[in-house]
Every structure is written in structure tokens, then in C-alpha cells.
Structure 1
Amino acid sequence: MSRIANDKARAKVMSAQDAAKQIKDGDRVGFSGFTGAGYPKAVPEALAEQIQAAHDKGEAFKIASYTGASTAPEHDGALAAVDGISTRMPYQSDPVMRGKINAGVSEYSDVHLSHSGPQVRYGFWGNLDAAVIEVTKINEDGTAVPSSSIGNNNVYLEKADKIILEVNAWQSEDLEGMHDVYSMKMPGHNVPLPITAPGDRIGSKFFDIDWDRVVAVVETDSPDRNTPFKPLDQESKTIAEHLLDFLGNEVTQGRLPKDLLPMQSGVGNIANAVLVGLNEGPFERLTSYTEVIQDGMVDMIDSGKLLVASATAFSLSPDAAKLMNDKAAHYRNHIVLRPQEISNNPEAIRRMGVISCNGMIEADIYGNVNSTHIMGSKMQNGIGGSGDFTRNAYISVFVSPSLAKGGDISAIVPMVSHHDHTEHDVQVIITEQGVADLRGLSPKQRAKVIIQNCAHPDYREMLKEYIEHAAAVSNAEHTPHDLGRAHAWHRRFLDTGSMKQA
């Protein structure tokens, strides 16, 4: 049965190939999609075929691709594989896309997720030529039910000259009612967000569609990219245990209530281990104000530990995605999906006192964090929303194993090779070695705690030697560094394949 109940929409149904012809060389295109959820499934692949055909004829054909966050091989991967992306924004995780960025084929602007939609609205990224947005259903009145992510869709629908809608019958019709679509305005016209708790609803259940700008409707029936989580390893479990112990102590010290404060969790194995730990731990009646709904949050809703979760998208394993589709009518009572300019909004994060927990690539001895670059130059994925939450959190936490590459890389280094989060914003660092609570400490005090509590023993003495040397040769005592040796560990890895001294 068709998910299209509107006459204007039915009149514009066509193939993905015909819809893709509406996109031209040089166009700036806003695509739906966030953490492999709610991205268009058919038009990007059809567009990639047309780009390849143009290239085979010696014709130029590239587009600027803007999304909510990461998408999938059918989107980022397909367009990147044919060298079809001139500029990518704001976040990606596809290996083909990453390779094109690091090879210089595609330009990449790594934008805070809460900034990306508003910047398009302000015109900072130029005119938006087209939007390709997945929806679950088109209602008789012409409104559309969002699918498994909202991301920047509201902004792209607002600003695009041409709109292409993909109506995906794989998405559960019972998602209707889970969404809360609320858009920010231009500066000078915004009012304080009326959100005081994660479950507050302030907007509409639907997208309003300007049918005069819709040029194509494409029907699909394809699943989201639902990647299984890796089995929880002991390292991830230990990091999670350290975080739970830290939170328990904050409750004991009277700095957190017994039901904590709204939790934000980054994506990945450690984040899911934290959620598993919370589900098994002593805390009750929890809430979450975050970016993505992961498997662990679904389990916590089922157990009754988590009352409500606010996010902008799902990031689920295949089993959890099937469960969500089967029981969406139940989960919509506990989940609110919002545009990312709201889910990641600094005002709301600060007001509610969110506890943030994000992964990192490396931290230095003073608490600066690199979450995006390998060895200073090679882009991994992007900053995502970690900066939105870290800068505004009640307590900001970063987690990572202390070692990588079989022990050849230390996650704790003298100076990070790329700064994403400064020492001013990073409050707590946790590895499997322990917890470094940096609140109230000077730089030299932070260095001592990070080295002792978070660095792996294989590198601990090297770090102590560095800071003793830096203190002896530095031009000041406040934040001792030897700039000539600050990145010696990274240079050694690039030269020899290991940070360890011979």
C-alpha cells in the first residue's frame, strides 16, 4: 500500500534516475541522514551513476554535499567513489569518503553539528540548490512524517530551491508522533527555547512541505545502515565501570542527584558499554538529552531505567532496528526526535545540566583533546556534536583506551597533534587505567593526575620525563612545554611505526 496520500505528491512520483536528473554540476545539495539513519536510499546511487557517465564523457560533474551527519555506502560511499563530491559538510564516517578527503579529492569542512543547519539558513554556505530528504509517509494534507532521523532536514526543506522526497516504506508508520520539529529563526527573531526537561515537546509532528518547490517523489523500501555493535571487550567494560564509579561519587558528594542529570553519550562501543553499565547499575529514573538513540538506550527503556530520551536520530544494530520498527508505537512514548539545531542546542544543554560523555583519539598532559585527526593531518570522521555538548555540559567527560595500534600509540601524549576541545572545556578524562578529575586544577596539577591515572604504564615514565624536561627548559612555569619535543612522539610514530623509544 502506498505511503503517499496527497494528490500533488502522487502526481510527482518518478524513478530515482529521473529524480536525480534534477541535480546538476555545481549544485549545493542538502541530504537527509544522521548516523546511518534516515538517509535517502535511491537518489544518491542514481546520481552517482549519472556523475560517472558524465566523467566518462570528459564532462565535469561534482556537487557540494551537506547532511546531518554520517550516512551510508549508498550515499557518501557511492558519490565519493565516482569523485562526485566537491565539498562535504558537516560530519562523515564512510571509508571511501574519508579516503577522498585525505587524498584532497573532496574538500571537507568539519562543522559543529549545532552550527551546520543555522549556517545554511544564514547563507554562509551559499544558495541551497536542492534537498533530498527521506520521509516515512506523506499525509493527505501534504505534510510529511519524518523517518529515523531529522538532522538538518528542517533547514534544507526551508532553504532549497528544489525538493526531492524519498518515501521509504521500510520505516515504521508508527514513528508518527515520535518527532518534534521546531526550527530556529534568523538572529534577532529567536526566543528562548521552551525546553526545561528532555521530554518537553515544543514543535510539530510533521514537516511542512512547500509543494511548489517539490520536483520529484521517489518511493523506496530499503533498510537503514544498521551496523552491529562489537561484543563488549573488557577494556570498554572497565572504562564504563570507572565512569559509573565517578558518577556514584558525585552523588555521594552531593554534586549530582540520585537520578543523575540528563545524559549525553557519543556513538561507539565504549558509549554502549556505559549504557549497559547504567542499565545494570544503581541509578533509577534516568533521562537523556543526546544526539543518537543507541541499543543500550532501547534496553534501558525496556528495563524502566530510562524514562525518556531526546535525540535527532537512531544509531541501532540490525536487531535493535527491527525491534524499533516492530514497537515504534511503544517507544514513541519515551523517545523524542528533534532537529539537530535543537538536540545539540547549547542553551538547552546548559539549562538542563547535561552530563556529556564522548570518545577521543588522544588527550595531552594538560587536558586538551583531539577527537578528529590522526597524527595531526589525517581526518578520521569529524567533531560531530562533541563540542556542542562538551562546551556546555554540567560535567564533560572524554573516554578512550590508553593505547592504540597494539601499544605503538599512546592516547595520552605531551601535546595533542590537533586541538578540538581545549583544556578549558575538558573536565574529566577516563581510560581503562582510571579517572582524571581535572576540575579545579592548574595545568601542572592536571598533568600529574592525567599521567598517573590515565596513561598506560608503558608510557607513564616517558611522560614524566617529558614534563620534568619541559619544566627545566620552558620559558614559564605555568604550562611547561618544550616546543621542539612536544610532538616528538608523533614524529617517532610516523618514522618508525611506534611512539615507544628504541
Structure 2
Amino acid sequence: MFSHSRVLCPDLQQKIMTADQAADFIHDGDTVGMSGFTGAGYPKALPAALVNKAQMERDLRKTFKINLWTGASTAPELDGVMADAHEINLRLPYQSDPICREQINSGQMHYIDLHLSEVSQYAWSGFLGELNVAVIEVAGIHEDGRIIPSSSVGNNKTWVEQADKVILEVNSQQSLKLEGMHDIYYGTALPPHRKPILLNEPADRIGSQYLEIPKEKIVAIVETSAPDRNSPFSSPDAVSEQIAANILEFFEHEIKRGRLPANLLPLQSGVGNIPNAVLSGLDRGGYKNLTAFTEVIQDGMLQMLKSGTLSVASATAFSLSPDALKELNENIDFYREKIILRQQDISNNPEIARRLGIIAMNGLIEADIYGNVNSTHIMGTRMMNGIGGSGDFARNGYLSIFMTPSTAKNGAISAIVPMVSHVDHTEHDVKVIVTEQGLADLRGLSPRQRAKVVINNCAHPDFKEQLLDYHERACASGRGMHTPHLLSEALSWHERYEQTGSMRLA
């Protein structure tokens, strides 16, 4: 079927050009929506071409900056090189690049941190302004114009619908056997025309295998051959393993109490070593026919699918180590029957998450004694990465679990504090907090009851007495007994760290 070129549509073959030529369709001040989600399926050639263009414009004493929208984080070849060239004026909805982060926190780059499920709605409603160009990586184009999506879907459907012009990167490094893995739903609408989404199980397919783009919108096609940027996961350390053990013990307890079925409920998991440790523990725990309705397929889920622990995984992208990517490509016929890649306004849809009863497992930066969670800001002001999809699932999941080591910076920072310095997930949405010290089940508890459980079960011993002392004095202050706080001290732990390098009392 596909020979050397993966662009088989005659009408589109004439639009094949170099990345530098395609970059001429993007102008200073444009808003550009690019594909990419957690280092998968992002453009590989256009970002570097845009850096070259920016330098040429500056040589002519002209400016060149764009507003950049994606699905989520991308890779150094996109976020990194463009930020390093000071080419991004505004970025949304999520990033994890250190150069982007530095420019966001120094005020050189505007950043809008959005719930990932809402990005499409924002774009369609016009809240974000006009989208000039979409740059989308795909795996191939059939003779009749059907377009095979790449290793992530993200916001690609919305970008190509909203953009005035579309540039495609056809990447021969992406397996053609991805064809059939995608499920792109074309039934979304804005209120008051929104209809129920008839997705009742993670395995349900409700859309198309292909990305639909009018040929007249496609102004350029660039052929590439470059792999996704995949970083290896380090082996879980003792802290990650203990956090995982605490969660697995909790699941067993909930099954015995009849509050979870034997095959649990659909799993959503953030990315990283702790979530992978949890997934590995589930894989060893004798579970069968689990399901996942999540954002990202990572190493642990691939192994669970291979072993039969997991029967199906629905997501919007991959986030695999090099070894796991090799496993996927070598056995893709097997995985294609068990993995469904959807656009992120479906993979993260709050109504679906609520209806399916998702078990949401996400990381945090800090939690306070009453159960509020900060997952985005360091010391209250400095953006780390963004809220991503954690809020989509935390508020709407049957169980919202937040997990973290109890300390950071070699023990200088406590992950459990009197008051979080920034709130992403309120006490009303956080049901379980887990550290290597233990697990706090906050369901059915008042604020003062939650404080005792969080401190006693989750705080590191080096900070437990400090926290108990704070709470006791706050309760005795007479300022209010529903959620007792000492306002002069509530954020003093953060202030102490910035002044002394430690949250510990001298």
C-alpha cells in the first residue's frame, strides 16, 4: 500500500515541500495549534524551521513571535528550541519544558494553565482568539485523503477544524499499524446543542479511525523521519514502592468492604515513577480484566495489557520509554485490539469520568492538613508544569487519590503543610492522600477530623510534631473551630524555606 512516500493522495502530493518552505505560511503574531501530548506525536521539523525563520527575521530587525497551543507537553525539539529562541509569546495549556518554565516564571512568556478537557471548548467558544495555523503530525495519507493519526490525538481534531490553514508532517517513524487504533468522535457541540456522548465502557468505539481535514485547508506537507522523544523511567525507589503498597492495600480494603468490585473501576493514572509502581503492583496482585480510561498509556499499562491484568486502555496519547516503545511496535497487532486513542475532550471528559466511576491517581506538590492540594506552583508563585488533566478526573472520579513522597529537597520541604501556597484541588474534591508514611482516607470527615488523619498518617516524622502543634494552637485560638488556622503562621513554612532553605523550625 505505502511505498517510499506515505502521501498517496494525488491532490496532496503537490503540496509536499521542505519545512523551511512550510514555515513561510506562519507569520509574526500568528496563533499556531500544534499536535503533541506528553512527548508523543508532536511536529519534528516545523519548530526548527520556525527557529530559523525567527533568526532571519531578527537579522532584518523584525520581530517573530507566535502564540503556541498544543495538546499538553511536547519535547525539547518543540517547546525547548522555540522557547530558547524566544519565539513563544503565549503558551497553553500545559508544558513541562525547563526553558519554557524559566521564561514563564520570569515573565518573558505568558502562560494559560487550563483543564485539558476544556481547551477545545475554549477554542470553539472564541475565548482564546483566532487560530491561524494548525501543524499536525500524522502517520500517513491514503489515496482517498483519509489521514492516519500519529501516536497522540490531543487537540488535533479541534486545531484542524478551527485553523485557517493546516500544515501536516507525515512521519515515517510512526508505525502504519497505528491505523485502526484511533477513535475520533465528531459528535461534539457547544451548548445548547450538546448531546449525550454514548460511551458507556472504556472499550466502546464511537468515532472514526481517521482525522478528517478538508483538502483545501492543507497548504503544506512536510515528510519527516524522526522518533518521538521517549525518556526511560527510572526503577521505582523504596519511597515509590511504599506509596504503591499503601494504595494497593487500600484497594484490597475497599473490595472487602464492597465499595469496589473485584476488578476495581476504570483507572486513570498520571505519568511517572510512582504511578508506574502502582501499576506494576496491580500487575503482580492477581487482578484480571481491569480497564483504564485515562490520558496516557505508559510503561506500566503496556505491561498490564500484555499480562492480561488490563483488558483495554483508552487514552489520548502514549508516554513510553524506549524499551516500551520497541515492545509496542514489535507487537502492535496485539496492542491495537486493546488500546484506543481518542481526542482529549473525550479522554478527559468530566461527564464520562463521573459516569464510569473513575479511580483517579495523580501526583501533587503539596497538600495541607485539611485536604487542599497544590499540583502546579512551587512556593505559591512559580509554575512547575500545569494542572493538566488531574482536575478533570479528581473532581469527577469515584475515587480521587493524590500521592507524593512526604518530603522534598532532601527533607527540607514537607509535602504536608498547614496551608497550601496555591490551590488546584480543593478539599471537596480530594478523597485520599497517600505518602510513603501512610494513607489518609478523607471521605466523610470534617475539616478538624481530616487534619488529624492527614498529619498522623501522611506527614514525615520530622514535621509531624510541628503540624500537630500548629493545629492544636489554631484550635485553641478561638478564631473559628470549623477550619482552624493561624493566619500569621499559615504560610510561614514557605516563608521559612525561602529565608533559610528549610521548613524545619530552628
Give the alignment of 1:121-140 within 5 angstroms. 121-140=124-143
Q: Alignment partner for residue 393 of structure 1, among 371, 391, 397?
A: 397
Q: Alignment partner for residue 237 of structure 1, among 224, 241, 251?
A: 241
Answering whether residue 98 of structure 2 is matched by residue 95 of structure 1, we say yes
**Amino acid in the other structure paired with 1:120:** A
Q: TM-score of the superposition, structure 2-length normalised?
A: 0.98
SS for the counterpart of 1:407 is coil
Distance in structure 2 (CA, Å) of the matches to 1:126 and 1:430: 40
SS for the counterpart of 2:114 is coil
Shift of 1:475: 1.8
Shift of 1:190: 1.9
Shift of 1:280: 0.5
Identity of aligned residues (%): 58
Q: Alignment partner for residue 457 of structure 2, among 448, 453, 456?
A: 453
Distance in structure 2 (CA, Å) of the matches to 1:94 and 1:21: 26
Question: What does the per-residue CA deviation read over 1:203-246, in whole Å, with 9 as the maximum and x for residues that have no partner?
Answer: 00001111111110000010001010011101001000100000
Q: Alignment partner for residue 217 of structure 2, among 207, 213, 217?
A: 213
Inter-CA distance 147–474: structure 2 relative to 1 (3 Å threshold): farther
Q: Structure 1 unaligned segments of length 5 or more: list them.
A: none
Answering whether residue 240 of structure 2 is matched by residue 248 of structure 1, we say no
Q: Which residue of 2 aligns with 1:23?
A: 26
Q: Which residue of 2 aligns with 1:291?
A: 295
SS for the counterpart of 2:395 is helix
Answering whether residue 151 of structure 2 is matched by residue 148 of structure 1, we say yes
- Structure 1 window deviating more from structure 2 (12-21 vs 47-56): it is 47-56
Distance in structure 1 (CA, Å) of the matches to 2:50 and 2:319: 25
Shift of 1:474: 4.6
Q: Alignment partner for residue 489 of structure 1, among 473, 493, 501?
A: 493
Q: Which residue of 2 aligns with 1:3?
A: 6
Q: Alignment partner for residue 106 of structure 1, among 80, 87, 109?
A: 109
Q: Alignment partner for residue 343 of structure 2, among 335, 339, 343?
A: 339
Answering whether residue 483 of structure 2 is matched by residue 479 of structure 1, we say yes
Q: Which residue of 2 aligns with 1:275?
A: 279
Q: Alignment partner for residue 81 of structure 1, among 84, 87, 93?
A: 84
Distance in structure 1 (CA, Å) of the matches to 2:71 and 2:45: 18
**Amino acid in the other structure paired with 2:66:** I
Question: What does the per-residue CA deviation read over 1:301-344, in whole Å, with 9 as the maximum and x for residues that have no partner?
Answer: 11011000000000000111122122222111000000000000
SS for the counterpart of 2:250 is helix
**Amino acid in the other structure paired with 1:44:** P
Shift of 1:199: 0.5
- Structure 1 window deviating more from structure 2 (116-125 vs 222-231): it is 116-125
Give the alignment of 1:148-167 within 5 angstroms. 148-167=151-170
Instruction: Give the number of aligned pairs.
Output: 502
**Amino acid in the other structure paired with 1:366:** Y
Q: Which residue of 1 aligns with 2:51?
A: 48
- Structure 1 window deviating more from structure 2 (163-172 vs 50-59): it is 50-59
Q: Alignment partner for residue 177 of structure 2, among 170, 174, 178?
A: 174
Confirm or deny: 8 A CA contact 1:171 1:325 kept in the other structure: no
Structure 1 runs of 4+ with >2 Å offset: 55-58
Question: What does the per-residue CA deviation read over 1:72-120, in whole Å, with 9 as the maximum and x for residues that have no partner?
Answer: 0110001100110010000000111111111111100000000012211
Q: Alignment partner for residue 12 of structure 1, among 10, 15, 23?
A: 15
**Amino acid in the other structure paired with 1:338:** R
Q: Which residue of 2 aligns with 1:63?
A: 66
Shift of 1:388: 0.1
Distance in structure 2 (CA, Å) of the matches to 1:56 and 1:14: 24
Answering whether residue 426 of structure 2 is matched by residue 413 of structure 1, we say no
Confirm or deny: 8 A CA contact 1:474 1:482 kept in the other structure: no
Q: Which residue of 1 aligns with 2:306?
A: 302
- Structure 1 window deviating more from structure 2 (41-50 vs 417-426): it is 41-50
Question: What does the per-residue CA deviation read over 1:239-292, in whole Å, with 9 as the maximum and x for residues that have no partner?
Answer: 001000001100000000000000000011101111110110132110000000
Give the alignment of 1:220-231 within 5 angstroms. 220-231=224-235
Q: Alignment partner for residue 119 of structure 2, among 116, 119, 132?
A: 116
- Structure 1 window deviating more from structure 2 (179-188 vs 479-488): it is 179-188
Q: Which residue of 1 aligns with 2:438?
A: 434
Q: Which residue of 2 aligns with 1:402?
A: 406
Distance in structure 2 (CA, Å) of the matches to 1:409 and 1:493: 7
Q: Structure 2 unaligned segments of length 5 or more: list them.
A: none
Distance in structure 2 (CA, Å) of the matches to 1:393 and 1:158: 30
**Amino acid in the other structure paired with 1:162:** K
**Amino acid in the other structure paired with 1:409:** I
- Structure 1 window deviating more from structure 2 (117-126 vs 294-303): it is 117-126
Distance in structure 1 (CA, Å) of the matches to 2:240 and 2:296: 19
**Amino acid in the other structure paired with 1:152:** N
**Amino acid in the other structure paired with 2:421:** S
Shift of 1:51: 1.1
**Amino acid in the other structure paired with 2:336:** R
Question: What does the per-residue CA deviation read over 1:164-200, in whole Å, with 9 as the maximum and x for residues that have no partner?
Answer: 0000000000000000001421222221111111010
SS for the counterpart of 1:392 is coil
Distance in structure 2 (CA, Å) of the matches to 1:195 and 1:208: 21
Q: Which residue of 2 aligns with 1:329?
A: 333
Distance in structure 2 (CA, Å) of the matches to 1:21 and 1:314: 31
Q: TM-score of the superposition, structure 1-length normalised?
A: 0.99
Shift of 1:49: 1.5
SS for the counterpart of 1:219 is strand
Shift of 1:37: 0.2
